[in-house]
Amino acid sequence: MQKAVTCLVPLRSSIYSKGLEIYRRGGVAIDVETEKSVYLFVEGEHQKYDVRLMSDDTFNCTCKLGSLKAGKGVLCSHVVASILFMSERQSAEKRGAVAKSESSAD
Ligand SMILES: [Zn+2]
Protein backbone atom coordinates (compact mmCIF):
# COMPACT_ATOMS: atom_id res chain seq x y z
CA MET A 1 0.00 0.00 0.00
CA GLN A 2 1.31 3.37 -0.96
CA LYS A 3 0.84 6.05 1.63
CA ALA A 4 -0.62 9.39 0.74
CA VAL A 5 1.78 11.89 -0.68
CA THR A 6 2.38 14.65 1.77
CA CYS A 7 3.90 18.01 1.16
CA LEU A 8 7.29 18.14 2.82
CA VAL A 9 8.50 21.56 1.84
CA PRO A 10 6.86 24.96 1.74
CA LEU A 11 5.14 25.32 -1.56
CA ARG A 12 5.10 28.57 -3.40
CA SER A 13 1.67 29.08 -4.89
CA SER A 14 3.06 30.00 -8.29
CA ILE A 15 4.81 26.64 -8.45
CA TYR A 16 1.66 24.88 -7.39
CA SER A 17 -0.48 26.60 -10.02
CA LYS A 18 2.10 25.89 -12.71
CA GLY A 19 2.12 22.23 -11.72
CA LEU A 20 -1.66 22.13 -11.70
CA GLU A 21 -1.70 23.62 -15.18
CA ILE A 22 0.73 20.98 -16.48
CA TYR A 23 -1.34 18.24 -14.90
CA ARG A 24 -4.62 19.61 -16.28
CA ARG A 25 -3.39 19.82 -19.83
CA GLY A 26 -2.28 16.20 -19.65
CA GLY A 27 1.42 16.92 -19.55
CA VAL A 28 2.21 13.97 -17.26
CA ALA A 29 2.83 10.38 -18.36
CA ILE A 30 4.21 7.39 -16.49
CA ASP A 31 7.42 5.95 -17.86
CA VAL A 32 8.36 3.15 -15.48
CA GLU A 33 6.81 2.09 -12.22
CA THR A 34 8.68 -0.02 -9.68
CA GLU A 35 7.95 -0.93 -6.10
CA LYS A 36 10.14 1.84 -4.77
CA SER A 37 9.74 4.57 -7.31
CA VAL A 38 7.76 5.92 -10.18
CA TYR A 39 9.39 7.58 -13.17
CA LEU A 40 7.32 10.08 -15.08
CA PHE A 41 7.69 12.27 -18.12
CA VAL A 42 6.53 15.80 -17.52
CA GLU A 43 6.11 18.37 -20.23
CA GLY A 44 7.26 21.72 -18.99
CA GLU A 45 6.76 25.01 -20.73
CA HIS A 46 9.78 24.61 -22.96
CA GLN A 47 10.97 21.05 -22.68
CA LYS A 48 10.29 17.62 -21.20
CA TYR A 49 11.68 16.57 -17.86
CA ASP A 50 12.07 13.24 -16.12
CA VAL A 51 10.60 13.13 -12.65
CA ARG A 52 11.16 10.36 -10.14
CA LEU A 53 8.93 9.96 -7.09
CA MET A 54 10.22 7.57 -4.45
CA SER A 55 8.30 5.66 -1.81
CA ASP A 56 10.28 7.28 0.99
CA ASP A 57 8.68 10.62 0.05
CA THR A 58 11.70 11.96 -1.78
CA PHE A 59 11.73 12.98 -5.39
CA ASN A 60 13.84 14.45 -8.07
CA CYS A 61 13.43 16.09 -11.41
CA THR A 62 15.91 16.74 -14.18
CA CYS A 63 15.23 20.47 -14.09
CA LYS A 64 17.51 22.79 -12.16
CA LEU A 65 15.12 23.42 -9.30
CA GLY A 66 14.00 19.84 -8.76
CA SER A 67 17.42 18.25 -8.60
CA LEU A 68 17.67 19.40 -5.00
CA LYS A 69 16.66 16.83 -2.44
CA ALA A 70 13.37 17.03 -0.61
CA GLY A 71 13.58 19.14 2.50
CA LYS A 72 16.49 21.13 1.20
CA GLY A 73 15.07 22.68 -1.88
CA VAL A 74 11.78 23.74 -3.35
CA LEU A 75 9.29 21.58 -5.15
CA CYS A 76 9.32 22.32 -8.84
CA SER A 77 6.14 22.50 -10.87
CA HIS A 78 7.01 19.21 -12.59
CA VAL A 79 7.08 17.35 -9.29
CA VAL A 80 3.82 19.04 -8.28
CA ALA A 81 2.21 17.87 -11.54
CA SER A 82 3.52 14.34 -10.95
CA ILE A 83 2.17 14.23 -7.40
CA LEU A 84 -1.23 15.44 -8.60
CA PHE A 85 -1.19 12.82 -11.34
CA MET A 86 -0.29 9.99 -8.96
CA SER A 87 -2.76 10.94 -6.25
CA GLU A 88 -5.57 11.24 -8.80
CA ARG A 89 -4.62 7.85 -10.22
CA GLN A 90 -4.61 6.30 -6.76
CA SER A 91 -8.05 7.63 -5.94
CA ALA A 92 -9.33 6.46 -9.32
CA GLU A 93 -7.98 2.99 -8.54
CA LYS A 94 -9.76 3.06 -5.20
CA ARG A 95 -13.01 4.06 -6.86
CA GLY A 96 -12.51 1.23 -9.36
CA ALA A 97 -11.94 -1.30 -6.58
CA VAL A 98 -15.10 -0.19 -4.80
CA ALA A 99 -17.16 -0.45 -7.98
CA LYS A 100 -15.77 -3.92 -8.62
CA SER A 101 -16.52 -5.26 -5.15
CA GLU A 102 -20.02 -3.80 -5.33
CA SER A 103 -20.81 -5.52 -8.60
CA SER A 104 -19.33 -8.87 -7.50
CA ALA A 105 -21.40 -8.76 -4.30
CA ASP A 106 -24.52 -8.70 -6.38
ZN1 LIG B 1 11.31 20.07 -12.40
Q: Has residue 4 been placed in a domain?
A: no
Residue list, CB under 5 A from ion ligand 1? 49, 61, 63, 66, 76, 78
Give residue-wise pLDDT tens across range 53-96: 988 888 889 988 765 555 555 688 999 999 999 999 989 988 98
- Centroid of ligand 1 to alpha carbon of 85 (angstroms): 14
Q: How many whole angstroms from 66 Cα to the centroid of ligand 1?
A: 5
For residue 76, report the distance from its CA to the centre of ligand 1, in Å: 5
| CA 88/CA 68 separation, integer angstroms | 25
Residue 7 placed within a domain: no
Residue 43 pLDDT class (50, 70, 90 cuts): very high
Q: Would you say residue 2 lies in a domain? A: no
> Quick check: 63 and 52 in contact, CB under 8 A?
no
Give pLDDT tens digits for 3-13. Answer: 555 555 556 68
- Going from the C-alpha of 23 to that of each of 38, 56, 73, 97, the distances in angstroms are 16, 23, 21, 24
pLDDT at 75: 80
Q: How far is the CA of 31 from the centre of ligand 1 (A)?
A: 16
Query: How far away, in angstroms, is 4 Cα from ligand 1 center?
Result: 21
- Domains contained in the chain, number: 1
Higher pLDDT, 36 or 101: 36
Mean pLDDT of 49-55: 92
**Per-residue pLDDT tens digits for 19-34:** 999 999 999 999 999 9
Q: Let me know if residue 42 belongs to a domain.
A: yes
